[in-house]
Amino acid sequence: MVKGLNYKEYIDNMEKFLSTISGYKIDRDYGIISTPGKFKGEMYFVPYFWDMALEGDFDEDTGEIFTFHITPSDRAFIPDLKGAKKIELYEDGQGFIHSEVK
């Protein structure tokens, strides 16, 4: 458990994360979604953040790019975000979602 992280918040976030990514086939070596569709080629955690963006739960919105500041809670259940400060998401003209972790 991460110091200062509320257990209920952690469980709620984990449940939401797992329900968001269920149904996607994920390459176990690289963590990339291989299921055809808008998230193909993106990391396994992108649908979770995209779902949050659609619910209005983002830190910044330029009108084209949704930005999320990575929190200790995010890092607790998505270890691949260790060291990341933020993730940016956008949808291209064909409906595919793209991400950049910074």
For the cut 70, the answer to whether the pLDDT of residue 56 exceeds it is: yes
The tens digit of pLDDT for each residue in 37-46 reads 999 999 999 9
Q: What is the pLDDT of residue 1?
A: 46
Whole-number percent of the chain with pLDDT over 90: 66
The tens digit of pLDDT for each residue in 4-53 reads 566 677 777 777 887 888 889 999 899 999 999 999 999 999 999 999 99
Burial class (CB in 10 A: 0-12, 13-18, 19+), 39: buried
Q: What is the pLDDT of residue 30?
A: 92
Structure-model confidence comparison of residues 56 and 22, the more confident one: 56
Q: Which amino acid is at 36?
A: P
Q: What is the pLDDT of residue 5?
A: 62
Separation between Cα atoms, residue 84 and residue 102, nearest integer Å: 6
**Edge-first strand listing for the sheet containing 97-101:** 60-61, 66-69, 86-91, 97-101
Phi, psi torsion values for 8, nearest 5 degrees: -60, -45
Burial class (CB in 10 A: 0-12, 13-18, 19+), 49: buried
| Cα atoms found within 13 Å of the Cα of residue 48, Cβ hemisphere only | 20
The tens digit of pLDDT for each residue in 66-94 reads 999 998 888 888 989 999 999 999 999 99
